Structure 1
Amino acid sequence: MTVWLMFSIVGVRLFAGKFYHCYNVTSEQLLVPEEAGNKSDCFFLINEGFTEIVWKNSKLNFDNVGLSYVSLLHMATFSGWLEIIYAAVDSTQVEAQPVYEYRLYMYLYFVCFVIIGGFFTFNLFTRVFINTLDQLQHKICLYTG
């Protein structure tokens, strides 16, 4: 789990506060950066009377270590992992609207996590399973003679 903690802390450093976006609830779409480029533009639209627009965060994000662990768990189980990857690659800066594939190099973070984090987790469970089998075999040998 130390490896996951390392990836969690790196994820917080890379992505904290960068998964927010200006969202139109009625059309269920993000506003393009030309309409609302950052948080203040989005709140300006809200104050102008556009009640269907909200500034919201992605459900899976890296704003703190706990939420980062949850996001990494989703990555490891491949449940909702595309939402996380797309949000990370589209992220620009804190309180700014995402831009399509703005940071393509963020794919490396997730590829490294899946390979390294998955390897260590799988290795841990395999080691526990084999140790349990060895203990059972030792107990069987003691009882049978």
Structure 2
Amino acid sequence: MGVNLFAGKFYHCFNETSEERFLPEDVNNKTQCLDLIEKGSSEVRWKNTKINFDNVGMGYLSLLQVATFKGWLDIMYAAVDSREVESQPVYEDNLFVYLYFVCFIIFGSFIPFCLFITSLINFNQRKPKISFFSMSVSPLEQLKLVLPQ
């Protein structure tokens, strides 16, 4: 679902010397960014974020990063700022994307984690208790082994 929603939408026009994005008022889409490159600005690039949803593999990697809460805010903010394919991102242009991430965190992280913990507890409760003495040793023999002679 993330690939369908966000494929190709995390690109932005980037100035590599100042290491800043161009504002959407200055560069609105890929065509305007490429025009800057043609005019001789060698430091300008139409660049994609490292973690994106352009294909299924990168989508899984992005969702894994969201599920583990490692760098997930950058992914969420890039998704919320995304507009259309080949358009420069605008700050919080797509606020409904927050629902996608909240639902994924609830159904993709918390519930599976709780199910895993529950199954671990059930497994430990059902496991037979292993005793120091085996079942074949009689109580008298057990006493002889424990008590000093």
Question: Hey, what's the Cα distance between the residues in 2 that align with 1:25 and 1:144?
Answer: 72
Q: 2:128 aligns with which of 134, 138, 142?
A: 138
**What are the superposed Cα offsets for residues 4-42 of structure 1, whole Å, 9 maximum, x if unpaired?**
xxxxxx111110100000001111111011221111111
Which of 1 and 2 has greater Rg? 2
Query: How big is the alpha-carbon RMSD for the aligned residues of Structure 1 and Structure 2?
Result: 1.8
Distance 1:98 1:15 in 2: 12
2:7 corresponds to 1:16: yes
Structure with greater helix percent: 1
* Count of matched residue pairs: 134
User: Which stretches in structure 2 are left out of the alignment for 5+ residues?
Assistant: 136-149
| Residue aligning to 1:62 | 53
Q: TM-score normalised to the size of structure 2?
A: 0.82
Question: Which residue number corresponds to residue 83 of structure 1?
Answer: 74
Paired position in structure 2 for 1:108: 99
Unaligned runs of 5+ in 1: 1-9
Identity rate of aligned residues, in percent? Answer: 57
Which amino acid counterpart does residue 140 of structure 1 have in structure 2? I
CA distance in structure 1 between the partners assigned to 2:51 and 2:115 by the alignment: 26
By relative contact order (CA 8 Å, sep 6+), the higher-ranking structure is 1
Q: TM-score, normalised by structure 1?
A: 0.84
